[in-house]
Amino acid sequence: MKRIAILLILIPIVLISVAQGNDKYTGVYSQKKRGGDMLSFLFLYLTPENTYAFAFFGGMEMGKWKAVDEYIILEPDNAMDEYFYVYARHNPGLKDTSVQFDGFTNIKGLYAFDDEVMMHPVFNDNPNCFNYPYTAHLKKGNHKAIHLTSFAGVWRSPGSDTITAPVYTYPLDEMYNDFKIVLNERKAMDVKPMLGVFGEDGMLRLDKSEFVKNSSWEEAKEEDKNAIAILTASLGKAPQSREFGEDVAGEWTKTEYPAIPYSKKEMRTVIFDKNYLFEARCEE
């Protein structure tokens, strides 16, 4: 009993010391060298719960962090382990079927409907100019399924019109008429853990970038802390839904779309043409 009592005393002491050790790292950081426009802003939040969030214009990347001596390791969340995710709902304001493609700007993606043998690129070769959103409008009930694949991690000989890659099939159920197809860029680009080091000057050097500590976690804005807590609560869980925003009569409106499962995923060789769905090209 005496030994148990000693252990019960030691456990909170150890937990307190670990928390105190983390205090010197937790807080809000900003990238030291950046451009003057909002697109270049990058912030890093290190929470006392050992979660982190990179916040940048138009997005956020989250995961877990841990400290080893003067080093810090950022391990990105890998719960979303599929190359594609599709979200859908019934939109009473649509007469046709809307299919929006997200995340295809950096990775070449292919699609085909129903029993099509030939697949088609979502964008033209070397797209360099984007104007969101990219939405295809289909006659309702014309298609029953869409097949998706990408060039992520795929080797092909120059000039070849075939690739061997995972192909996802998603049903285009008539109960839905508003689809959002997302190419999971983090999976496609094989995001790895990052190693950072704290210098004697207090600067965090991370992946060729320097971050300055703006504030401790206690000094951070409450709305920021609450938002990070809500977002990081989903770490390790594949999302069952996702919010998408759109401009409605001059106001930015967010709508939640449930995720729908794929009906098939198989590794196979596909042939593709050059008949792209969207053009994203600017004259240089």
Burial 121-135 (b: 16+ CB within 10 A, else e): bbbeeebeeeeeebe
Q: How far apart are CA 161 and CA 272, in angstroms?
A: 6
Number of helices (H) and strands (E) in the chain: give both, helices first.
3, 19
pLDDT tens digits for range 126-175: 888 888 889 999 999 999 999 999 998 888 878 889 999 999 999 999 99
pLDDT score of 207: 80
Above 90 in pLDDT, residue 214? yes
172 contacts 135 by C-beta, under 8 angstroms: no
- C-beta neighbour count of 46 within 10 angstroms: 24
Write the CATH number of the domain with boundaries 2-79+189-232.
2.40.128
pLDDT score of 185: 82
pLDDT tens digits for range 21-79: 578 899 999 998 655 544 457 899 999 999 999 887 656 788 999 999 889 999 988 77
pLDDT score of 154: 87
Measured between its terminal Cα atoms, the distance across the chain in Å is 78
State pTM to two decimals: 0.71
Report which of residues 185 and 270 the model is more confident about.
270
117 contacts 271 by C-beta, under 8 angstroms: yes
Q: How many Cα atoms within 13 Å fall on the side-chain side of residue 243?
A: 7
Q: How far apart are CA 260 and CA 182, in angstroms?
A: 12
CA–centroid distance for 67 within its chain: 24
Token pair 């928390």 in the structure block, residue: 19
Token pair 């795929």 in the structure block, residue: 154
Domain ranges of the chain: 2-79+189-232, 84-187+239-272
pLDDT score of 284: 61
Tokens of 32: 């030291």
